[in-house]
DNA sequence: AAGAACACCAACCGCAGAAGA
DNA sequence: GTCTTCTGCGGTTGGTGTTCT
């Protein structure tokens, strides 16, 4: 059985709101509140609008103390930092910026901030990578002939400089493994707490579960990494990986956000995965909006999983991504293989 | 001056989770 | 426990304005 529509779509007006409609909605809500039911609200005030549309209009535009445009540098920094940490959770990010709406921040990120931060940088990187590839190709054609050109291409690419996240996004957010870097979960948590303390109690070393239980930070850390890796390599189950964790040092190259996001990073460069919060699995998936870091032509292969992000031409991509190939795993020492790759990339 | 390309942003859509019957 | 309804969220679309050729 399909879900009933929230409104009669034939009888609702779409498109831009008129000043009259704005006035009706604003004055009603200011006088009576929403009444806890957006669906019936438009009928009450005689608006031929969908309840969802009214809600959106109110939240994004009519609500008092809404700021539009004119983002400050400090706000830019906060948005960037949070995006790196928690991904595209615009409502959470908006919660840290009073007067800003998630829609506004989302638009701002997609249209301006992304380009501001990476546009020029990326072009330079791509040009550099392309030149090196050309030089490498010339060298090959003049000298030795490769038996397997594709594998050599990949290894050559690994020599190239990968995309680097700008170091000046936020003073407390760096990608080195030294000093006050953002290289562990505590740092991220402290940073988020500093921004507003919405995420957790500073003294809290335990993560609440839906069933009322708790997980220690270490347990969460291990489970997330295990889920992540098992998501990469389907043939290895979580328990095997957790077992590995219990026997070895935690991999220091996995940096987790509070909500299961991970930045798998190396020295001054990183690759990114995000997780599906909806089903509590920590499987990598597309992190929308960061293709510019990887390169537009990236084929969506994350740790050996292809996720059909779009058409690609791998040979033209200047993105260096640490590929954890499943077949490697299925051989003799699977766990060592993945951790070796993670911990040594990029060399 | 005109058309194309690009940028911006308000609004829509569909999905998932929460709440209630 | 199941179904329905509502809310909130993030991704996407499409209209409009601006810049480029």
Q: pLDDT below 70 — which residues of chain A? A: 1-10, 118-347
Supply φ then ψ for residue A55, to 5 degrees: -60, -45
Name the average pLDDT for chain A: 52
Residue–nucleotide distance: A70 CA to B6 C1' (Å): 21
- Model pLDDT, residue A64: 84
Nearest amino-acid residue to B9, taking CA and C1'? A107
User: Residue A39: which CATH number?
Assistant: 1.10.10.60
Positions of chain C reached by protein Cβ under 7 A: 3-12, 15
In a domain, A318, yes or no: yes
Q: Are A192 and A199 in contact (CB under 8 A)?
A: yes
Closest CA to A157 of A320, A26, A284, A36: A320
* CB hemisphere CA count around A26 (13 angstroms): 13
In a domain, A194, yes or no: no
Positions of chain B reached by protein Cβ under 7 A: 7-14, 16-17
In a domain, A282, yes or no: yes
Q: Are A86 and A93 in contact (CB under 8 A)?
A: yes
Residue–nucleotide distance: A89 CA to C16 C1' (Å): 28
In a domain, A156, yes or no: no
In a domain, A129, yes or no: no
**Is any atom of nucleic acid chain B found less than 7 Å from the CB of residue A279?**
yes
Full residue range of the structural domain in which residue A43 is found: 11-62
- Model pLDDT, residue A223: 45
Q: How many domains does chain A have?
A: 2
Residue A253 CB neighbour total at 10 angstroms = 21
**Nearest nt by C1' to A90 Cα:** C10
Residue–nucleotide distance: A347 CA to C7 C1' (Å): 48
**Nearest nt by C1' to A106 Cα:** C10
In a domain, A40, yes or no: yes
CA distance A9 to A22: 20
In a domain, A159, yes or no: no
In a domain, A236, yes or no: yes
- Model pLDDT, residue A151: 34
- Model pLDDT, residue A63: 86
């Amino acid at each position: 059985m399909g879900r009933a529509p929230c409104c009669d779509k034939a009888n609702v007006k779409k498109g831009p709101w008129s000043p009259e409609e704005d006035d009706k909605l604003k004055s009603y809500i200011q006088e009576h509140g929403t009444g806890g039911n957006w669906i019936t609200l438009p009928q009450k005030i005689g608006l031929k609008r969908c309840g969802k549309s009214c809600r959106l209009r109110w939240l994004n535009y009519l609500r008092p103390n809404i700021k539009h445009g004119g983002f400050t540098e400090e706000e830019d920094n906060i948005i960037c930092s949070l995006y790196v940490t928690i991904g595209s959770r615009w409502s959470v990010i908006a919660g840290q910026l009073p007067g800003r709406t998630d829609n506004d921040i989302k638009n701002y990120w997609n249209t301006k901030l992304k380009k501001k931060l990476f546009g020029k940088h990326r072009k330079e990187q791509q040009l550099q990578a392309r030149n090196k590839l050309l030089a490498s190709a010339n060298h090959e054609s003049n000298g030795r002939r490769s038996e397997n050109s594709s594998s050599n291409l990949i290894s050559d690419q690994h020599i190239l400089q990968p995309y680097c996240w700008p170091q000046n996004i936020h003073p407390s957010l760096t990608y080195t493994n030294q000093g006050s870097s953002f290289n562990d979960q505590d740092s991220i948590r402290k940073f988020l707490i500093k921004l507003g303390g919405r995420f957790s109690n500073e003294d809290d070393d335990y993560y609440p579960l839906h069933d009322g239980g708790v997980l220690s930070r270490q347990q969460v850390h291990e489970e997330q990494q295990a889920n992540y890796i098992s998501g990469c390599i389907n043939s290895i189950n979580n328990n095997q990986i957790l077992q590995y964790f219990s026997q070895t040092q935690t991999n220091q190259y996995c940096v987790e956000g509070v909500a299961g996001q991970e930045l798998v990073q190396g020295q001054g460069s990183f690759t990114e995965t995000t997780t599906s919060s909806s089903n509590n699995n920590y499987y990598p998936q597309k992190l929308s909006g960061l293709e510019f870091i990887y390169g537009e032509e990236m084929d969506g292969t994350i740790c050996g999983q292809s996720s059909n992000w779009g058409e690609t031409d791998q040979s033209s991509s200047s993105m260096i991504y640490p590929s954890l190939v499943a077949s490697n795993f299925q051989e003799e020492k699977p766990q060592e293989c993945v951790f070796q790759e993670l911990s040594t990339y990029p060399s």
